[in-house]
Amino acid sequence: MDKHYADTVRLLLNIAPDVFDNDIFAMKGGTAINLFLRDMPRLSVDIDVVYRPWQTPRGQALQAINQELAAIAQRVERLGVQTRLIRSKDLGDTKLIAENEASQVKVEVNVVFRGTVLPIERRPLSAGTGDLFGVEFAVPVLAPDELYAGKLVAALDRQHPRDLFDV
């Protein structure tokens, strides 16, 4: 395995418990598939999250997202990881960059699609990922059907090969 990729996965695995130390975010996207459902079939090292409460008015949801990203930054910095919050025009902070001397991981909240269709599942790392990196923990993840549906939407929207590969 490429050293840079392994270092980036280590950073992601180091910060993930702090990213999901709340009741409002769940993991979605390729990294959820590649580290929690499957045994790392492709390189995917960002953390895509969905804001779980679907009935919250947009303004309140954006405020809650901004506040939680700031709280995540504080928790992650205690690990010796540097963080930067990234503002989106008129939306506040919707991304967090976490980095150490070797790697960088992006935490990105989807502010357009909020809530979930299916119940959230608390999932442990895939066996292969846990064994390879010597860690065990679980995070809230979208249900597999919803994860793959999201990848199909992304494949049709972006038309990027990685989305088709994930499906």
**In the chain, domain spans:** 3-166
Listed in sequence order, the DSSP H helices in the chain are 3-19, 29-32, 58-77, 127-133, 144-158, 161-166
What pLDDT is recorded for position 160? 56
pLDDT at 164 over 60: no
Q: If you search the block for the tokens 């959820």, which residue do you land on?
A: 32
The CATH fold of domain 3-166: Beta Polymerase; domain 2 (3.30.460)
pLDDT class of 137 with cuts at 50, 70, 90: very high
pLDDT level of residue 114 (50, 70, 90 thresholds): confident
Q: Is 148 helix (H, G, I), strand (E, B) or coil?
A: helix
